[in-house]
Amino acid sequence: MWTSPINQPKKSIQIIKLPSESNLGQFYAETWKNKDETKNKEQKYDEDMIRETKRWEVEQEIRKQVDHLMREELDLLKIVSDCASMMEGTAAIFFYC
C-alpha cells in the first residue's frame, strides 16, 4: 500500500550500478555524448536526468501497486462468479453470497 514520503526515513546514499566494462562505451554514448554542458560551467546537477531516473522508479512502484490491486479485484470477481454459478436463477445473488 502507498505510504507518504513524508513518513519515510531519508536515504543518505543512493547506490548507482555502473555498467560492465564492455558496455561502458555504450553507456557513455547514451548518457553523456550528446549532452551540451557549455551552459553548465558550475557543474550543477542535471534536472532532466534526475527526473528520468525518478520517473522510472515511480513507474515501477505504481506498477507494483496496480498489479496488487488488479489481483485483488480478480479474486473478488472469481468469488462473485462462483456465487453466481451456485445461485443460478436467483435475483438476489449478492445478498446470499
Q: Is residue 43 part of a domain?
A: no
- 16-36: average pLDDT: 73
Cα 54 to Cα 72: distance, rounded to the nearest angstrom: 27
pLDDT at residue 50, rounded to an integer: 84
- Does position 83 have pLDDT exceeding 90, yes or no? no
- pTM as predicted: 0.47
Domain count along the chain: 1
| Residue 56 CB coordination number (10 Å) | 10
Which residues constitute the domain of residue 91?
59-97
Nearest to 32 by CA among 81, 85, 6, 43: 43
Cα 3 to Cα 5: distance, rounded to the nearest angstrom: 6
Cα 11 to Cα 53: distance, rounded to the nearest angstrom: 16
3-class DSSP state of 81: helix
Q: Is residue 1 part of a domain?
A: no
Q: Is residue 86 part of a domain?
A: yes
- Does position 63 have pLDDT exceeding 90, yes or no? yes
Could you tell me how many residues make up the chain?
A: 97
